[in-house]
């Protein structure tokens, strides 16, 4: 290969609909013929893919196929719930199956590389890209990261229906200051390793073929030119052999960051920092060959990067089968079994936040099948486009069944009253008045409120105010004032601060953005054909001033303890603690929280041992084991005390005290989904090994230390009985 051809393999452009500022280049055909392009993205049909691929394979000197990528985030044509919703299922197998459907559909269109999963830890609801990930916890995030990789890549990459995964954004992107997208990040190495790196490590261990860098700076070093994270941790410590891709123009953005004064310097720093492929900025194409010739970049380093790119292309079978079957493309989309899975995923993603009734009455949900008339009100009740969420790939609004359509089919036109009520942003007094009249004519009101998915969630969609946008709060209060029973459905890519609603509305469901089967899934959940089982993967704030907010926080030297924080402090003992004076410290709803139409009773956790050896645990940790004689079994009885069968996600939390560094008040260390019939009790057992007790200590070593351990088996991160054991030397 000539030097220019080598550099060409490290160059990537968007040849379809752009998703950000680009290079302005349009001469892709000519560049491909000269071997100056290695990958293209934002092309979405087999026909378009084949046009470019034929130029590469039949008209270039080396006939190296192109790699085609796309942001396939939560489905390709069959759109599933947004990733935050999928994670709320607490079901990695479900997520793996959804990713497999996405891989089958994308590969049928010639897309063999997805820029997914997003595995950023997100602790701040202001950050719009929270919608794209799996929440705030590294343990759950790691489980979901592995599931996505397995689903996308299948049992082998060269299968025709497999695509290469690309976990992103490496690393710390979710900790952007102020929750403002692309902003700088400051994290101690301990916090980085303990909380933000584990999901990436899990994705690498699952075999991820590629990985994407991040936009942000990390401790003053931009992530796209950070040898500590990209070379030391990723390559040396983890042994990652795949391709590191930049994010969109993030190589060029090194100039704006201030560590490069021109494009050549940016290309040099990014490449030597560990970025193999330059997405969209064109700086590798423009400068890398000259940097090699001038001696500023060793050609051997270029050779290494090119080998990585070629290995992925070989692994995908592109050299043997470079073209896509245009005839079979349509048949792969929206298969009946894919739509059924999309409905199931949506059903499992819903989180029942509140379900109360007037004194002496039954909870409002599930709705009775004898309900005569329902008023469906709100700007998201019949909005096909918004149900797709952000990053909808090839999802089409016409594929979506809305709640209005599903309710009309069930109730008929006589049983359903509909009024939009207001716009997501905007609206009129007349619309609100019409909605009030509609509510007054019905037995029950379903309000469908929330965010605009494309505009308010995902990338470049940070919000300083987390309440309902527009006039929706006014609409909500007017409808509640009618005295009718109200069910509030919240469609959003993040938690919303809505204290008035949680005080005055009897039933509230976090529906996220549920995908193409939004209506049928909601219908089944509302009428009790399925029992809600979703659990929050992010702490739900009372006020935006609590952000960033996360359950696995450190204690302080002055914890609030059992002080009543709902009223002002009455003395110094209540004031001089870590608290707010105008809102409780606690979230509106904690991580792991979610109600059901059933009730579950948890028994006292029981331990198979009262003492463990730190030495034995460390020996097992070094050997790579997760369970051995050094482990402890933790069990608890869980009983369904309700009248309906249901699935409960039983969660295991651990706290370590007496260690060399302060550790969280609780840390998720296991979870199981358990199906229980009414009155049934099941013993749920967790085998807890070295990984649950190891942490990054004051010597920057991942190890187990002597400690007092508190263990909870509970329905969420803020409740449950505890048991204790000792880890001794």
- Cβ contacts of 253 within 8 Å, gap of 6 or more: 215, 222, 224, 266, 281
Q: To which H or E segment does residue 404 belong?
A: helix 403-411
Number of Cβ atoms within 10 Å of the Cβ of 220? 11
The catalytically annotated residue of 120, 245, 247, 691 is: 247
Are 65 and 57 in contact, with CB atoms under 8 Å apart? yes
Number of Cβ atoms within 10 Å of the Cβ of 359? 5
Are 695 and 659 in contact, with CB atoms under 8 Å apart? yes
Q: To which H or E segment does residue 354 belong?
A: strand 351-355
Report which of 491, 518, 390, 511 is spatially closest to residue 73, judged by C-alpha positions.
Answer: 390
Per DSSP, the chain holds a count of helices (H) and strands (E) of 24, 26
CA–CA separation, 22 and 41 (whole Å): 12
Three-class SS of residue 593? coil
CA–CA separation, 305 and 676 (whole Å): 52
CA-based torsion, 46, 52, 55, 58: positive or negative: negative
How far are the Cα atoms of 143, 154, 361, 548, 674 from residue 146, in angstroms, in the given order? 5, 12, 45, 26, 21
Residue found by looking up tokens 């989904």 in the block? 673
- What interhelical angle do 138-153 and 198-205 show, nearest 10? 30
CA–CA separation, 122 and 137 (whole Å): 8
CA–CA separation, 255 and 346 (whole Å): 43
Burial class, 586, CB count within 10 angstroms (exposed 0-12 / middle 13-18 / buried 19+)? middle
Partnered with residue 634 across adjacent β-strands are 607, 686
Q: Is 137 annotated as catalytic?
A: no
Measured distance between the N- and C-terminal CA atoms of the chain, rounded to whole angstroms: 58
Three-state SS across 301-352? HHHHHHHHHHHHHHHCCCCCCCCCCCCCCHHHCCCHHHHHHHHHHHHHHCEE
How far are the Cα atoms of 278, 378, 454, 501 from residue 506, in angstroms, in the given order? 52, 17, 29, 9
Active site positions, annotated: 247
């Amino acid at each position: 290969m000539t030097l220019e051809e080598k550099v060409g393999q490290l160059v990537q452009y968007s040849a379809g609909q752009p998703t950000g500022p680009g290079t302005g280049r349009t001469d892709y055909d000519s560049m491909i013929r000269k071997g100056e392009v290695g990958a293209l993205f934002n092309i979405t049909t087999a026909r378009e893919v084949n046009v470019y691929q034929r130029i590469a394979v039949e008209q270039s000197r080396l006939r190296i196929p192109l790699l085609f990528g796309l942001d396939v985030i939560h489905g390709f044509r069959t759109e599933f719930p947004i990733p935050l919703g999928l994670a709320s299922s607490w079901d990695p197998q479900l997520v793996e199956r959804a990713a497999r459907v996405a891989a089958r559909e994308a590969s049928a269109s010639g897309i063999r590389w997805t820029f997914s999963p997003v595995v950023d830890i997100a602790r701040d609801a202001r950050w719009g890209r929270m919608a794209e990930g799996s929440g705030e916890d590294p343990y759950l995030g790691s489980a979901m990261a592995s599931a996505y990789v397995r689903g996308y890549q299948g049992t082998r990459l060269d299968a025709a229906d497999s695509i290469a995964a690309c976990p992103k954004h490496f690393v710390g992107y979710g900790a952007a200051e102020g929750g403002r997208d692309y902003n700088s990040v400051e994290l101690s190495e301990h916090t980085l390793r303990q909380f933000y790196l584990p999901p990436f490590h899990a994705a690498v261990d699952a075999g991820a073929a590629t990985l994407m860098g991040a936009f942000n700076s990390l401790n003053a070093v931009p992530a796209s030119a950070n040898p500590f994270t990209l070379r030391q941790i990723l390559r040396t410590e983890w042994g990652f052999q795949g391709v590191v891709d930049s994010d969109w123009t993030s190589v060029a953005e090194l100039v704006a960051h201030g560590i490069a004064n021109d494009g050549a310097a940016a290309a040099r720093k990014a490449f030597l920092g560990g970025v193999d492929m330059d997405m969209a900025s064109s700086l590798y194409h423009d400068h890398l060959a000259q940097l090699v010739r001038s001696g500023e970049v060793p050609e051997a380093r270029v050779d290494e990067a090119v080998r990585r790119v070629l290995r992925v292309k070989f692994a995908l079978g592109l050299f043997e089968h470079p073209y896509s079957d245009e005839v079979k493309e349509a048949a792969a989309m929206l298969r009946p079994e894919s739509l059924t899975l999309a409905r199931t995923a949506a059903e499992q993603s819903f989180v029942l936040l509140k379900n109360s009734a007037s004194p002496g009455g039954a909870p409002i949900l599930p709705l009775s099948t004898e309900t005569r008339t329902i008023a469906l009100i709100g700007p998201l009740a019949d909005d096909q486009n918004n149900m797709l969420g952000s990053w909808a790939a090839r999802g089409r609004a016409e594929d979506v069944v809305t709640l209005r359509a599903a309710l009309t089919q069930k109730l008929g036109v006589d049983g359903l009253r509909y009024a939009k009520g207001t716009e997501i942003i905007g609206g009129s007094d007349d619309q609100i008045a019409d909605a009030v009249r509609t509510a007054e004519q019905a037995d029950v009101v379903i309000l469908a409120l929330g965010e605009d998915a494309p505009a308010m969630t995902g990338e470049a969609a940070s919000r300083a105010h987390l309440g309902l946008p527009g006039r929706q709060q006014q609409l909500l209060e007017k409808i509640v004032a009618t005295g009718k029973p109200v069910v509030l459905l919240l469609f959003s890519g993040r938690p919303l601060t809505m204290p008035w609603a949680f005080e005055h509305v009897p039933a509230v469901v976090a529906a996220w953005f549920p995908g193409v089967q939004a209506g049928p899934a909601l219908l089944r959940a509302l009428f009790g054909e399925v029992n809600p089982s979703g659990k929050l993967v992010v702490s739900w704030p009372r006020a935006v001033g609590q952000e960033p907010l996360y359950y696995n926080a450190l204690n302080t030297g002055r914890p609030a303890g059992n002080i009543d924080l709902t009223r002002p402090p009455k003395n110094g003992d209540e004031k001089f603690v870590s608290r707010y004076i105008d809102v409780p410290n606690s979230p509106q709803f904690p991580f792991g929280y979610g109600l059901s139409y059933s009730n579950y009773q948890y028994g006292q956790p029981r331990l198979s041992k009262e003492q463990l050896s730190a030495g034995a645990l460390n020996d097992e940790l070094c050997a790579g084991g997760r369970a051995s004689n050094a482990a402890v079994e933790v069990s608890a009885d869980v009983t369904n005390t309700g009248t309906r069968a249901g699935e409960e996600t039983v969660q295991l939390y651990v706290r370590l005290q007496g260690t060399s560094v302060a550790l969280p008040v609780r840390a998720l260390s296991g979870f199981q989904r358990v199906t229980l019939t009414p009155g049934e009790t099941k013993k749920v057992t967790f085998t807890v090994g070295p990984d649950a007790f190891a942490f990054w200590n004051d010597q920057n070593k991942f190890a187990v230390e002597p400690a007092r351990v508190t263990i909870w088996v509970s329905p969420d991160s803020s409740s449950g009985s505890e048991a204790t054991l000792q880890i001794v030397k």
